Amino acid sequence: MDFIRINELEIECIVGMRPRERHQKQPVRLSLALGLNLSKAGRTGRILDTIDYSRVADDVASLLKFRQYRLIEMATEEMSAMLFGCYPALEQIRIRLEKPEALKGRALGTSVEIERSRAAFSGANSNAGHAPVETLLETEEAGLYLLRIAAGQRLEFDDPRWERRIQWLISGAVLSEQLALQVGQPHESSQRQAFENQEGSSAVVFCCACQAGGQSAAPA
């Protein structure tokens, strides 16, 4: 297995359980090891044959800032699902998420480190099919989805469990409420979303939906 590594990416976000942590941003450090076959990119020199680590850095930062996690354990699990969904070439991932200001004065920080394979997320498997809405992961707090909009089609995505949404384009071209989504550029909303593909090829959008403030969803 070959690896692309991002070491100690620094992000400021809301993360933690304590009242102060819920209202004040704090720094976290994120390290990623992305496992995939890099031999083709090594021969062609094309970015399309590998994973763009700049886009990965933007994606994980967008998710962390949007979600405002209470537990970094949940943050690493959801990041894994998102990355497997957004990057089909990815086969294995290692994530280390550190809170350097936790236990301040007693320790240098705290961290969670996980390792996951694509098989751990059935919704992100390459043979998962091409349903219009593909569930990557659902937790008590959020749902992570891939939205597949066929050429010339319109897809309405609404789930009453969730109040806040963030989405960004992975591939193709899509309009959302007359706004053209851009690859890797997040768009937040708190309303029902409709996605329209006016092009001649299919498009894929990543969406994370959650409760306001990150609370658990009400029981069904």
Question: What's 196's domain CATH number?
Answer: 2.60.120.10
* Percent of residues, the chain, with pLDDT higher than 90: 72
Can you give the length of the chain in residues? 220
Q: Is residue 154 a part of any domain in this protein?
A: yes
pLDDT at res. 126? 40
Number of domains in the chain: 2
Tokens coding 91: 């086969």
Domain of 39? 2-120
**Global confidence as pTM:** 0.90
Residues 85 and 158 in one domain: no
Could you tell me the CATH number of the domain that includes residue 41?
Answer: 3.30.1130.10
Q: What is the pLDDT of residues 17-62, one digit of tens each?
A: 999 999 999 999 999 999 999 999 999 999 999 999 999 999 999 9
Residues 9 and 93 in one domain: yes
Residues 94 and 59 in one domain: yes
SS3 call for 141: coil
Q: Is residue 219 a part of any domain in this protein?
A: no
pLDDT at res. 57? 97
Domain-ending residue, one of 53, 86, 120:
120
Q: What is the pLDDT of residues 156-202, one digit of tens each?
A: 888 888 989 999 999 999 998 788 998 889 999 876 788 999 988 99
Residues 198 and 171 in one domain: yes
72-86 vs 53-67: helix crossing angle, rounded to 10: 140
Domain-ending residue, one of 89, 120, 151:
120
**Rounded CA gap, 101 and 61, in Å?**
18
Residues 70 and 11 in one domain: yes
